[in-house]
Structure 1
Amino acid sequence: MKNLLLQMEAISKAFPGVNALNNVNLNLDYGKVLALVGENGAGKSTLMKILGGAIQPNSGKIKIEGEIKKIFNPQISQKNGVSIIYQEFNLIKDLKVHENIFLGREITKNGFVDTKLEKKLSINQFDNLGVNIDPDIACNKLSIAEQQIVEIAKALILDSKIIVMDEPSAVLTEKEVKNLMRIINDLVKKNIGIIYISHRLDEIIQISDNILILRDGFHVNHFETKRITKKQLIENMVGKSLSIDFPKRKSIIKEEVLRVESFSKKNFFSDINFKVNQGEVLGFAGLLGSGRTAIMRSIYGADKFDSGKIYKNNQELHIKNPIDGIKNKICLLTEDRKKEGLILNHSSQKNFGLPNLKNFSKNLIMNETKEVKSFKNYINDIKIKINSPKQIAKNLSGGNQQKLVLAKWLESNADIIIFDEPTRGIDVAGKREIYELINDLSFEGKSIL
């Protein structure tokens, strides 16, 4: 087949208990953007991990520029011109930015690492991205958005022929997304092929030339982007007609529950005042760094604040840490559920029970039967798609991880629930389910931020 940069043919991959990919085909042209879409669990990340050499397929073959390639590890993938920016950051947080960008491919001069040149080239990449990041700062000092941009810079510095971007814009501001689109357009002009994975369908339609749709591990369809509508795209992804509108609000707003007065924290937020009533959903909007997350973390007790007062049911609260927040029935679903909301290598059941040990123990002895029974009730009530309560949390889709975090807080009997970017990295069907859950919770009398 002419003019193909990449061909993945009849790729199949099975894990214990699940067929992740079934005879999937992918074609990428030179200088084109291929959007890879599908619900969480459709097989997108598995397919890209095979291309990147992180896992091996059970069958199928990969051709790059017409030649069959055996990609046994990430190093071989990179040598063949493939660079993958995974959704899970691949940074060593204690190393500096420029050290991460050039890790494994350090620039040397007279036998020593040329840190001056590495910093200069890093700054050049950040200038191209339209951002200002100090290459001499440790990555653990960066925000999530800045860490994502470092990952993009790592890929661009390799001058690869094929660049895979897995949810690269998930935590970027509108301005940063525009910069990303500009960079992608510049790359395709250089004949580089881009595989772009995103749940932001408007973004997909804007940037891509072609769209490959996966569902439940199968290759469902392939379209020229200009020949498909957003509605058709959604229907192919989920296998049914699905409204993309927000569910109709049905809450009954009652008396005031939470009030915040003169809330301030130096360099983060100043003189913030608001109140939220029972059954109300109060939205907070603002650009990255505007203080939204900092305010919510301080109300919950994850971070300290300098001045101001928090009242619940007209009683002043003294919240100094998350334990105080939980005791006052305030919970926080953080913007980074994988880092701060879950212990990914533990079972879903253990994640559910961890903040609720008092509910399932007596005389310091855990009643696991009671814990499992309660968890199964939430699995049914909020429709968590899970093989069993013992399933490891990291193996759940993004939407189901978010539901797991919500379940543990509902078990704690929280009546003020803070959702920080609740649909980040979640597919279109999962987003609607989260919106419906928020709607249901407010109708039940929960107060939502």
Structure 2
Amino acid sequence: MQNILIELKNITKLCSNSLSINNLSLQILSGEIHSIVGMKGSGKSALVKIIAGIYELETYTGELIINGVTIDKNTKSNLKNIGVVYQDQNLIKDMTILENIFLGNEIKENGIIKWKKQIEMTYNLFEILNINLDPDTKLKSLSLGEQQLVKIIKAITKDPKIIIFDEPTIGLTKIELENLFCLIKKLKEKGITCIYFTKELEEALKISDRVSILKEGKIVFTEINKDLNKETILSLISGRESNRTKNIDLISQQWGITEREKEIIIFLIKGYSNKEISGKLFISINTVKTHIAKIYQKLGINQRIDLINLILDFKE
């Protein structure tokens, strides 16, 4: 049985005089990939900062426990074992990969930077994680996906036992996304616990051992990935299932959505894959893709989460 590595008990945090985190409790198991899924405004950013120790202890109430030790002013050093890959983390474009990795965390002896040790550590990590990059390459010549890899290596150099990923896939191509997931799985194999924050349910289902749903500052659901029901999760995320059918009808009327397209919308918001929709409607996968493209074009959206948000937030 896996040990509880991180435990949050009855955490409450105010931001701008409103509850950002509301009496939240959560357990993260040692060595797992645990996704926390929530829409914009659900409290993801605040929760990242609480777990990572960015927020001062006196700015929130409740208990944060790391490896059995309650974090207070005397034990806050335990948070040094946590690395964070921030969504908006600024790297220096005109500096090399190597310089960015160790910026602010240089290996020094007697005040002198030990470049040879830094280079050796970088190549060693690249080899272990199967990363094919030249440490002397300027960051500005890298793709977004490659820059994300640099952020992860930067976090790993501090030898963390836990790494938090704060919506790391924004702007990545499909291939870069797959490469990122492979790297996260390798980190798990090395015993690093990964906490993955996202608003994309499909990503969570692809990468996680367990998934938690964050809504209005509370964890409303946690389950092992293999036991999850997509429709249940989407309903929990939205919390407004009763308005769904009515809003789909109204949106269909307003934007000229056909009956077939409406059927596909219903399956999409229930979390069905293109292959599953194809089987349900007895049409080809290419036909499903064509219908989805037309739906998104009519509604002026780009992805499934936009469709869900549109339906949930639609007002007559």
With normalisation by structure 2, the TM-score equals: 0.71
Deviations 1:263-287 (CA, angstroms, capped at 9, x unpaired): xxxxxxxxxxxxxxxxxxxx8xxxx
CA distance in 1, matches of 2:176, 2:311: 26
For residue 233 of structure 1, what is the aligned residue in structure 2?
Answer: 233
For residue 290 of structure 2, what is the aligned residue in structure 1?
Answer: none
**What amino acid is aligned across from residue 49 of structure 2 in structure 1?**
K
Aligned residue pairs total: 262
For residue 21 of structure 2, what is the aligned residue in structure 1?
Answer: 21
Counterpart contact for 1:71–1:77, Cα < 8 Å: no
- Of structures 1 and 2, the one with the larger relative CO (CA 8 A, separation 6+) is 2
CA distance in 1, matches of 2:74, 2:195: 20
- State the SS of the aligned residue for 2:22: strand
CA distance in 2, matches of 1:229, 1:190: 29
**What amino acid is aligned across from residue 62 of structure 1 in structure 2?**
L
Whether 1:58 and 2:35 are equivalent positions in the alignment is: no
**What amino acid is aligned across from residue 106 of structure 2 in structure 1?**
E
Q: Structure 1 residues 435, 150: closer, same or farther in 2, change over 3 A?
A: farther
* 5+ long unaligned stretches in structure 2: 258-292, 294-299
More helix by share: 2
Q: Structure 1 residues 84, 238: closer, same or farther in 2, change over 3 A?
A: same
Whether 1:38 and 2:38 are equivalent positions in the alignment is: yes
CA distance in 1, matches of 2:220, 2:202: 20
- State the SS of the aligned residue for 1:175: helix
Task: Tell me how far 1:96 sits from its aligned partner.
Answer: 2.6
CA distance in 1, matches of 2:302, 2:2: 44
Q: Structure 1 residues 166, 101: closer, same or farther in 2, change over 3 A?
A: same
- State the SS of the aligned residue for 1:12: strand
Task: Tell me how far 1:208 sits from its aligned partner.
Answer: 1.2
CA distance in 2, matches of 1:179, 1:137: 19
For residue 299 of structure 1, what is the aligned residue in structure 2?
Answer: none
Deviations 1:411-448 (CA, angstroms, capped at 9, x unpaired): xxxxxxxx9x966xxxx654545799xxxxxxxxxxxx
- State the SS of the aligned residue for 1:206: helix
Counterpart contact for 1:34–1:212, Cα < 8 Å: yes
CA distance in 1, matches of 2:22, 2:309: 27
Deviations 1:144-170 (CA, angstroms, capped at 9, x unpaired): 333222111112222211111112233
CA RMSD of aligned residues (A): 3.4
Moved more, 125-134 or 217-226: 125-134
CA distance in 1, matches of 2:309, 2:30: 38
| Structure with greater Cα Rg | 1
- State the SS of the aligned residue for 1:148: helix
Q: Structure 1 residues 86, 231: closer, same or farther in 2, change over 3 A?
A: same
Q: Structure 1 residues 103, 228: closer, same or farther in 2, change over 3 A?
A: same
CA distance in 1, matches of 2:142, 2:182: 23
Whether 1:204 and 2:204 are equivalent positions in the alignment is: yes
CA distance in 2, matches of 1:429, 1:204: 13
Write out aligned runs for 1:32-431 (5 A). Answer: 32-56=32-56, 57-70=59-72, 76=77, 78-79=79-80, 81-108=81-108, 112-241=112-241, 250=256, 429-431=305-307
Give the share of equivalent positions with the same residue, in percent: 33
* 5+ long unaligned stretches in structure 1: 252-282, 284-418, 437-449
CA distance in 2, matches of 1:37, 1:131: 28
CA distance in 2, matches of 1:169, 1:143: 12
**What amino acid is aligned across from residue 192 of structure 1 in structure 2?**
I
- State the SS of the aligned residue for 1:91: coil
CA distance in 1, matches of 2:43, 2:28: 17
**What amino acid is aligned across from residue 48 of structure 2 in structure 1?**
M
For residue 340 of structure 1, what is the aligned residue in structure 2?
Answer: none
CA distance in 1, matches of 2:74, 2:174: 38
